[in-house]
Amino acid sequence: MKSNNNHRKWESVRLSSRIHTVKEISVHYEGRTEEVAIRPPDVSIHGMFFNTPTRFAEGSVLNLRFRLALTGAEINTRCEVRYCLPGVGVGVEFIGISPDAVRKIEREVQLCRAPRPRRKTVKLARR
pLDDT by residue for the chain (127 residues), tens only, comes to 444 444 444 444 556 666 566 666 677 777 766 666 666 678 889 999 988 888 889 999 999 988 888 899 999 999 999 999 988 899 999 999 999 999 999 998 888 887 766 666 666 666 6
The reply to whether 64 falls in a domain is: yes
CATH at 21: 2.40.10.220
Measured CA to CA, the distance from residue 3 to residue 24 in angstroms comes to 29
- Is residue 120 situated within a structural domain? no
Q: Decide if 125 is inside a domain.
A: no
How many domains does the structure of the chain reveal? Answer: 1
- Is the overall model pTM greater than 0.75, yes or no? no
Query: Within a domain: residue 35?
Result: yes
Please indicate, yes or no, if residue 118 is contained in any of the structural domains: no
Residue 91: strand pairing partners: 49, 83
Residue 89 in domain? yes
Query: What is the span of the domain harbouring residue 44?
Result: 4-112
Q: Within a domain: residue 124? A: no
